Amino acid sequence: MRDLMLGREPKDFDVVTNATPEQVRGLFRRARLVGRRFLIAHVRFGREVIEVTTYRASPGAATSVHSELTDSGRLLRDNVFGSREEDALRRDLTINALYLDVRANEVIDYAGGVEDLNAGLVRVIGDPETRYREDPVRMLRAVRFAARLGFRIETQSAAPIRALADQINEVPAARLFDEVIKLFHGGQALQTFELLRHYGLFSPLFPAAAEMLAEQDDDNLRMLLPGALASTDARVQAGKPVTPAFLFAAALWEPVRRAAKRREEHGMAPIQALQDAGQQIITEQQQFIAVPRRFSIPVREIWDLQPRLEQRHPRRVLPLLEHRRFRAAYDFLVLRSEIGEVDPSLARWWTEIQEDNQEQRVARATELPAGGGGGGGRRRGRRRRRRD
């Protein structure tokens, strides 16, 4: 309803009803119940899955085995059902509590969401501190909708966020992965990043990266990560695919680079140092955001390909172009060249060879020195033979 009123095309619709999840399951043959914290029904129509939620009451409306709060106020379970008005007032934001009665074709607003839409405000329903403690993800959602809609977080709703930011670490790491993807793959990643930093929410999500950001004498991460986020925004807005692997590779690159440098200083070979550092940083990051293996492995491949792209060994150039992570690694190299971490002519060389036909690619690769072509630009010279 929110998007319709703003003249935007909704991505989906939330269906709510006074029927219990069990009753919904009984009505539809292809329905199943999911969730523990919030029990909902998934009803399948062809390839589509319609999420059907029952009206809920406030968590404090009744003492029940269906509602559970921690001592700190975090909501672990919320399956106390209520009326439509009660359901509206327990939602997170006023602009997310608008209902469309499809039979009457009427917008129903119990929380002042229409007024906040017109004013461009993101406002929490109820006492902000209590609502954030119930579910710390609400702080991330406030930021996400502010960035996505170009709204401002209402003053009282914004006030407790900095003090409660560490509550984010109480949220299961697997759930935070889903929330981070929503934050950064909505087309406003750069603005979202700035808001997260402003409210102190970036640090509990990416502590190693935040530590690098806090240092005033090194601007690499300040430039690399925003560049990656701007690139992601451009791809989303152009309807091109994006991958979480690129996001995590950019966010964690500076911690990995520094950890690898320390290992080299203790005598470890550069490639091994990079691989070892990558494993360490990914493992540490998993404590905060559980990155699935289908994405964490590509993250490490993007990092591991960087020295190979820099070396440009003649015999490995063509296989590199066929590597499944080449494009992501190349895009990453371009970002590094833009901040001066590698010679820009190196990125240009890889750009040019992708535009060549196969014969030209072979010629360009064989023109490189036999020991590899660090730096950039085309190098002409006699081909040297080397025994492996």
Catalytic annotation, residues: 12, 14, 92
Kindly give the interhelix angle for 173-184 and 189-198, rounded to the nearest 10 degrees: 120
CA–CA dist 76, 166 (Å, integer): 18
Distance CA 372, CA 314 (A): 6
CA angle 310, 315, 320 (to 5 degrees): 55
CB 267 within 8 A of CB 186: no
261: tokens are 């440098």
Is-contact 368 336, C-beta < 8 A?
Answer: no
Burial class (CB in 10 A: 0-12, 13-18, 19+), 157: buried
In one-letter notation, the amino acid at residue 92 is D
Q: Using alpha carbons, select from 117, 185, 114, 112 the residue that is nearest to residue 146.
A: 117
Query: In terms of Cα–Cα distance, which of 217, 297, 208, 294 is closest to 257?
Result: 208
List Cβ neighbours of 190 (8 Å cut-off, separation of 6 or more). 226, 229, 230, 233
Of the candidates 163, 174, 252, the one whose C-alpha atom is nearest the C-alpha of residue 201 is 163
Nearest to 119 by CA among 88, 152, 93, 87: 152
